[in-house]
Structure 1
Amino acid sequence: AEAGGVRLAFFHYDCYVDGELRLSVREGQAGFFTPAELAAGGGVRWDPAEHPPGDDLPFDPPAVRCERTSFGTDRVRALAQGSPAECFGPGWEATAAHVRTPLLDGERLRLLDEVTVFDPVGGPWGRGYLRAETAVSPDDWFFTGHFKNDPCMPGTLMLQGGLQAMAFYLTASGHTVDRDGWRFEPVDTQPSRAKCRGQATPESRRIVYEVFVRGVSAGPVPTLHADVLGSVDGRKAFLGRGMALRLVPDWPLSQWRVLGPPAVQEDGAPVPLPRLGGLSGHREEKAVAVAADGFRFDYASLLACAWGRPSEAFGTMYEPFDGTRRVARLPGPPYHFMSRIVSVDGVQGGMREGSVVVAEYDVPERAWYFEQNPSRCMPLAVLMEVALQPCGWLASYAGSATTSEQDLLFRNLDGVKTVTGEVTAGTRAIRTRAELTRVSRSGDMIIESFRVVCTADGVPLAELTTVFGYFPRSAFDDQQGLPVPAEERARLDEPCDRVVDLTARPARYCAGEPRLPGRMLLMLDRVTGSWPEGGSAGLGRLRSEKDVRPDAWFFRAHFFQDPVQPGSLGVEAMCQLLQYHLIEGGAADGIVHPRFDPVLPGRETVWTYRGQITPANRLIRVDMDIVESGTDARGPYAVADATLWGDDTCIYRVRGLGMRVVSGPPPVR
């Protein structure tokens, strides 16, 4: 058509991806204009004050109140790079433990430089307002391809910039803090109108995006309804009316699995989690268990149990958890120690006592825990996980979580273990047999007991009995911990002039033979007390501390959407404090090539957990009594009882934990 000498084109189109309709455009318009006509254009004629929203949209308050009202380039870049806490500050600490936090577009597609105004009750309607700005440069990448001899910013990118500003608003309102792994997407089936009445060219200097909030829904799927105005050097160039953006559940493995082949972290240097989630080219070399409907319990399903869609871990039974609901997870790499399910005996979803799983873990020749442990053998914490993770898998297979309308958290409560062997880089595989021996239920709380036997290349390695529980999240709102007498609590503050900062890696404890682990595995920051003749047996007492960092690697590994420090690493902290005691006491003097056993073999160790360490905690303390010491045929040893405290609450108690100094390298299987 032609109007006033201007040629206009009218169009509509539909876009499909793999046969699925993803985008429809109706009443599309485009025109041919002279440079003079473009320069003389009046821009978008729109005043938000004249278009107030109706009463049909919700207006929920922010999930977290942000102290800041503006954000410079460094803060916006930090958000785009996956660090919301660096952008927003207090209130966003928990996001440091996210496996994959909801992100703005990054790198070249990031279209926001800074946010100059954020006001949840601002704007002409008092419903919220955001102003974001970005500089325009003649070198911007999009000018090269759009168009030849007529460079201008695509209107679709202006729309994308507006959506990024809306995503920033939702994030600044705290709606991503408790939604690890989710992503932003436009609301489908809800039409919006876009107008372009100006352009950004290489001669332009600045684009401003203004978000006028019409409504906000806090959930279960957080959604922002807004009008977005884009201005170029003060001229209103773009308007999006009735735009809607939401946060939707997503799973890191859905993207990561195609990025590369499976990878193993070989040392203490962090490996990006997307690399550890690769499944490209993976083939199962051994037989795996298969469900009645043909579902295979292979490595891909186990990785999905950590980071993927729940139905990809257990089949259709877990489809109800493929949305906003949450389910208990296995730990993810680098703290994931299951390679396949060899066999399973028991009805899936039956919650039957007597159900049995046999799982295998292929031990890598090079793994971070070998490199970090000076003894070059598998540390106790990893050995505990190898034994315990199949219990968690079996509890999920049995369908425990599917019996409640509430989302349940899965926690280890008690255990008794005896270790009889060692695992080295020469070990090929550990086979774990876990049997569900008892199930009891009270309301939404489910208690399950297991009997576990581990072998390494067919040789007995460990036996244990253990108890786990499913609990509603509210059960942890007021963490009571373990009861302790007043005099035991007072020991935490008892003064001592012997304080050792282990973060400085003092040579006496962190160099030579034997020595404490490397930085990744070391669960002690400092020893705050050492009384050689103290404790209940007069054989010594020790006390240590570790500062809790929300970005600690183990929170990301254990668990997705439910970050807690593994109880096994709390026990590992006790092992390391016992190692410190043996070094300090000179137990290794005169021993050729001394090293530590991972734990005193053949001794029964008992643990009780009644609480958790989360990113919200600030301090972990261990208080330990040496209850036995001596020398046997293999070398000097010590046995201890210990408690672990989260801030001021006693949450773990371990009895009979032993450690020994031996000579020579660990045996190679």
Structure 2
Amino acid sequence: MNTAELDFVGEPFDALALTAQATPPPASVRAATPTPPAAEGVASLVRDLRFAMGRAHEQVLRAQTAMQLRAFHAPGALVTGPPASAPTPRADTTGTRVDTEARFKPLARTTVTDLDDTGLANLAAGDIAAVFGDRYAQDGANPDIRVSGTSLAAVHGLDVYGGAWGRGGLTALLRPSATDDTTLDHDAVVEAVVEAAQILALHAGLHLCLVDATFERSAPGLPVQPVVLDCEPLTAGEIDLVVEVTEIDLVPRPYLRVDAQVSAAGAVLGWVRGVTVAVVEKPGVPIGPERGGVPARWLGRVGRFGERALLSEFHLAHMCRGDQGIGMGPEFSGNSDRKATRPPDGGLLLVDRFMEMTGTRGKLDSGSHRTEYDSPADSWYYLDTANASMPNCVYMETSLQAALLLGYYLGPTLDDPDATVSLRNLGGTATVLREVDLRDKTIVEHSQLLSTSPVPGSTLQNFAYTMTVDGEPFYSGDTLFGYFSDAAMANQTGLDAGRHVPTWLDSQDSAPATRIIDVAARRADPAARLVSRGHLALLDQVRVVDGGGRYGQGYLHAVQPIDPSHWVFARHFRYDPVIPGSFGIESCVQAMQEWVLDSGFADGLDNPGFVLPAGLPFTWKYRGQFLPTDGQYTLEVHVKRVEQRPGRVRVVGEASMWKPGLRIYELSDIAVELRAEGALPW
């Protein structure tokens, strides 16, 4: 796609039409162009209304930013929901159980859950890969990362999502005292908890993103939390610890905090609370790229296939919600605590590592990079999708995030570093090349910057990308992103030059007969299959006109409330909340999936599942955004054709989406496919 393919009509999105102004032109300028009297009155009214709408929209954006600033600086901003249970009684509990989307994603995975004397001795010697496996190998980095003592005799139940808060946990047995003293020093118990915390940190791979670090009890920029010891006198003997992680993060440095229940002979004796373990670089050791974006030396991360990475999960976390100077280089340090371009956060961040990059910061005509994203089978989107594998929105987000990070890294905003800009996707075309199950796979994306075009109020960047798994391409496309000033963002007019264009249903002279698919009721049924739930519960009902729509094949219509507290606003983007365009598309996909099931196409298929249709290019165009304050969105799908092959049915459509008063999304050849288990590829 190039900039000529924006295909604007009139002023579909004033910020993009390159002619938008934040204020109306002075009367002297308006008078310079002769206008018929009647037309002048109408034109003046239109200008005044447009100016008023733009100012109101700008004020809404500023209010949203202020609310997001307060929300993100509040404690616990990255977790949601109350504890599912209270397995460890505690009078002063203030933590929150993390849900499946927000939980910390470990930097490596292992099947090891128990440690004996040999395993503990290896960790004390720093031989971490010998205990947890090759994913923990670090090519000679971190020679001094090791468990600090030998207080523990055994460890059981290592679980990255264990503990009361779902952030990690283990149980441990203290090594019996070698002295004749019948009392156990409380400091020795605290040190045993520290060792358990270090084991949990290694198990989660926190050390893997720094090159020469040590375990510390605090870190630069990390609030100090005193250790609280509330425990009865201890007698020497078998002392058990139940250790649970209360905090874990990569920002400001990789760290975790734990609480530990202390017991003997099945009786709880007390608690150790607030033990912190951080992975901190040695003095003078670099942890991020230099000016220009190139690291002075390897920063410590090894990719999925044993290759040294350029940037790691640590740097991506800082790009999202930490110090962008650490993540991208000192030129970006000023963006850390203000509205600025940044990738999504939490479970919506779908890029893990930069493996290599070409191009020079400040030269925006070309560049490329290769990224990796690990897609564990227990990821929230596999749990919540109606698909047999990864949902369409995650395909899109993974590919688009990798591309936008390439463009942003090269520095299109650095000419005016104090300006606030918003990054938005404007459209693209993507094709699924083959059907593939991506669970527990590492997705490699090759992204290429094709062009950068500065225009009044914005900068446009054009990309091409291909995603591969196991060395074979499975998804490719091209896309266009724009960086927009606040004034440009406040003056949006949608796809139809600000005109109100009704849905097909609303434009009919006589209301056609409709029927309702109750999606919420299906979702509420635990036995219902092939329905999106949880984080992907995007529709409550779909209205159907059988034989209706532009092609006479069927028509779908839905109006969905927008909840300002929806989880996605906290992730996309920090200080600049909007619904991802991919989630709007996912809503249309879900409407089509529900129609396929309701129309009986699953009948006779053996264990059917939804898959992304291969070999069919899909095109999208965005000219606006869904905000937390919009109240609702409306979608329609015109069924274009229904195709059937042995064990498969494919439905192709055209779709649009509206925010109140404006049509802002247009989707061509959007498609869903239902296939029987084991059916031959399309």
Instruction: Place the TM-score, normalised by the shorter chain, in its bin.
Output: 0.5 to 0.7
Query: Which of residues 511, 522, 525 in structure 1 aligns to 2:537?
Result: 522
Unaligned residue ranges in structure 2 (runs of 5+): 1-62, 77-90, 95-220, 224-248, 259-275, 282-287, 300-309
SS at match of 2:487: helix
Structure 1 511/624 Cα, relative in aligned 2: closer, same or farther at 3 Å? farther
Mark the CA change 1:256 to 1:320 in structure 2 (over 3 Å): closer, same or farther. closer
Structure 1 gaps of 5+ residues are: 1-90, 111-182, 186-251, 262-277
Aligned to 2:317: 303
The structural deviation recorded for 1:665 is 6.8
Q: In the alignment, residue 587 of structure 1 is paired with which amino acid?
A: F
Residues 176-223 of structure 1: CA distance to partner in whole angstroms, max 9, x if unpaired? xxxxxxx9x9xxxxxxxxxxxxxxxxxxxxxxxxxxxxxxxxxxxxxx
Closer, same or farther in 2 for the Cα pair 1:449/1:352, shift >3 Å? same
CA-to-partner distance for each residue in 1:250-283, whole Å, 9 max, x for gaps? xx9646842369xxxxxxxxxxxxxxxx996699
Deviation at 1:566, TM superposition (A): 0.6
Deviations 1:319-362 (A, max 9, x none): 23245x43201011111111100100111x22432200100001
Contact 1:433–1:453 (Cα < 8 Å) also in 2: yes
Report matched runs for 1:110-125 at 5 Å: none
Which of 640, 649, 658 is matched with 1:627 structurally?
640
Give per-residue Cα distances to partners, 1:479-504, cap 9 Å, x unaligned: 21111886644634875552344333
The within-5 A match list for 1:91-110 is 95=67, 100-102=72-74
Distance in 2 between the 1:358 and 1:255 partners? 26
Question: 1:372 corresponds to which residue?
Answer: 384
- C-alpha distance in 2 between matches for 1:640 and 1:490: 14
Q: 1:634 to 1:109 in 2, by over 3 A?
A: closer
User: Any conservation in 1 of the 2:316–2:352 contact (CA below 8 Å)?
Assistant: yes
Look up the match of 1:343: 356
Percent identity between the two aligned chains: 25
Amino acid at match of 1:498: R
Larger Rg belongs to: 1
Task: Write the distance in 2 (CA, Å) between the matches of 1:478 and 1:92.
Answer: 16
Q: TM-score, normalised by structure 1?
A: 0.56
**1:320 and 2:323 correspond:** no
Q: Does 1:291 align with 2:294?
A: yes
1:574 touches 1:642 (CA, 8 Å); kept in 2?
yes
Q: CA deviation at 1:463?
A: 0.6
Using the TM superposition, give the Cα deviation of residue 93 of structure 1 relative to its aligned residue in structure 2, in angstroms.
Answer: 11
Q: Supply the distance in 2 between the matched residues of 1:93 and 1:526 (Cα, whole angstroms).
A: 31
Alignment map for 1:346-495 (pairs within 5 Å): 346-347=359-360, 349-404=361-416, 405-424=418-437, 426-483=439-496, 488-489=502-503, 491-492=505-506
Query: Which of 498, 502, 510 in structure 1 is aligned with 2:515?
Result: 498
Give yes or no for contact 1:366–1:425 (8 Å, CA) kept in 2.
no
C-alpha offsets along residues 155-192 of structure 1, whole Å, 9 cap, x if unaligned?
xxxxxxxxxxxxxxxxxxxxxxxxxxxx9x9xxxxxxx
CA–CA distance in structure 1, aligned partners of residues 560 and 486 of structure 2 = 26
* 1:22-65 superposed Cα distances (whole Å, 9 cap, x missing partner): xxxxxxxxxxxxxxxxxxxxxxxxxxxxxxxxxxxxxxxxxxxx
1:539 corresponds to which of 535, 553, 557: 553
Cα shift at 1:441: 0.5
Would you say the 8 A contact 2:388–2:609 is kept in 1?
A: no
- CA distance change for structure 1 residues 340 and 491 in 2, over 3 Å: closer, same or farther? same
Letter in 2 for 1:258: Y
Distance in 2 (alpha carbons) for counterparts of 1:517 and 1:102 = 31
SS in 2 for 1:603: coil
Change in 2 beyond 3 A, CA 1:650/1:280? farther
* Deviation of 1:421 (Å): 3.0
Supply the AA of the counterpart residue of 2:584. G
2:67 corresponds to which letter in structure 1?
Answer: T
Q: Cα offset for 1:411? A: 0.4
Q: 1:335 to 1:667 in 2, by over 3 A?
A: farther
1:44-59 correspondence to structure 2 within 5 Å: none
CA contact (8 A) 1:279 1:300 kept: no
2:609 & 2:93 partners in 1: Cα distance? 52
| Distance across 2 between alignment mates of 1:400 and 1:451 | 18
Equivalent of 1:548, from 562, 583, 590? 562
Q: Which has the higher contact order (CA 8 A, sep 6+)?
A: 2
Q: CA deviation at 1:92?
A: 8.1
How far off is 1:519 after superposition? Answer: 2.7
> Aligned equivalents of 2:75 and 2:385: distance in 1?
36
CA 665–615 in structure 1, closer or farther in 2 if over 3 Å, else same = farther
- The separation in 1 between residues aligned to 2:74 and 2:541, in whole angstroms, is 35
Work out the CA distance in 2 between the residues paired with 1:591 and 1:108. Answer: 54
Any residues of structure 2 matched to 1:45-84 within 5 Å, and which? none
**1:118-138 CA distances to partner (integer Å, 9 max, x unpaired)?**
xxxxxxxxxxxxxxxxxxxxx
Contact 2:559 2:633 in 1 (8 A): yes
In the other structure, the counterpart of 2:143 is none
Alpha-carbon distance, 1:560 to partner: 0.7
Query: Which residue of structure 2 lines up, in the alignment, with residue 258 of structure 1?
Result: 255
Tell me, in whole angstroms, the C-alpha distance in 1 between the residues paired with 2:587 and 2:278. Answer: 36
TM-score by length of 2: 0.55
Q: CA deviation at 1:409?
A: 0.6
Rounded to whole Å, the distance in 1 between the matches of 2:69 and 2:629 is 10
Change in Cα spacing, 1:663 to 1:579, as seen in structure 2 (3 Å) is same
Q: Quote the residue 2:102 is aligned against.
A: none
Question: How many residue pairs end up in the alignment?
Answer: 412
Q: Contact 2:321 / 2:336 at 8 angstroms: preserved in 1?
A: no
Following the alignment from structure 1 to structure 2, what is the Cα–Cα distance between the partners of residues 279 and 399? 35
Distance across 2 between alignment mates of 1:340 and 1:506: 35
Query: Deviation of residue 575 (structure 1)?
Result: 0.7
